[in-house]
Chain A
């Protein structure tokens, strides 16, 4: 397995500790002039999100985490399982609701997403930045009100609720920013 020596340590390094993948979010080099070099690191567990403080001395090494980003298509949802397919290998992955996290709100069948694999297993999923969703249900808007500062929740085809301007109607298509969950604009069919 590939490994990183302390002289390779820097912010952004992806390493493996006790079987879990970690992102080095801070690495502070400390060295008394005539003494031993220490690397005081903060590492974020990429599965659990917890942060670990670890000190290393020069000459130590950490295993590199086998992390790969792939393009994967969302196939279908089956209860709490979300099924994706690797666009290159056609291999299928089943992700839990926890792994999919907020992305479920935007997943439409056939949608291309970006997936992070750790040791060839899915770690996380990112939908495209912008998705177009159909409004399944909403309260009717006040006639003639085109102000965008008056909002209402609308239910879209995935079952998620998105806050939209009050002029949005049932059956319309809306573009949503998946990073913020915010409505951007109406889209013509």
Chain B
């Protein structure tokens, strides 16, 4: 069974469209409402998603792990994670699932693998994120900070995220190293809009995330 996991915070205006766009490619769509105050959970449920709700906001990493845990208990064999802000195109899901079918454990989407219109500042931030991830894990992933990923049966069973915030993307790379998962990278489309750009991480938050990642890798 293929399950899509979508962590969401205050995305009531977008989540229904993302759920409906993902449904044709997976058996179930799980949305984790991470303490939203705008009815995100209700909108997702109305669109046909299975909704879990954190009573309080815990962060993107914690919400993703809740979704993965729920999918496991539903009997998922493959899981695809994607953002709730329409940045990721669900039409790329078949490519991610096809890569899993070749036997790899994890598929990392790569927004820089094709001609996407990505603002230069985003490219710089993502490059820094990749370098921090390399320093923390010893593994180079072309788009380490992208939330669009697919996990095969082995990774679905073994994945355990501890980090609550955006550091979870780097933690997944670390898990790949630690658990010796096989992986591949697949180019995907990215849909940036004024909305998604405004919702992105601030520079200060990015620095904080980078420091946390490095500190965690050292003190773990």
Our verdict on whether A and B bind, yes or no, reads: no
Q: Which residues of B contact A (CB under 8 A)?
A: none
Q: Which residues of A contact B (CB under 8 A)?
A: none
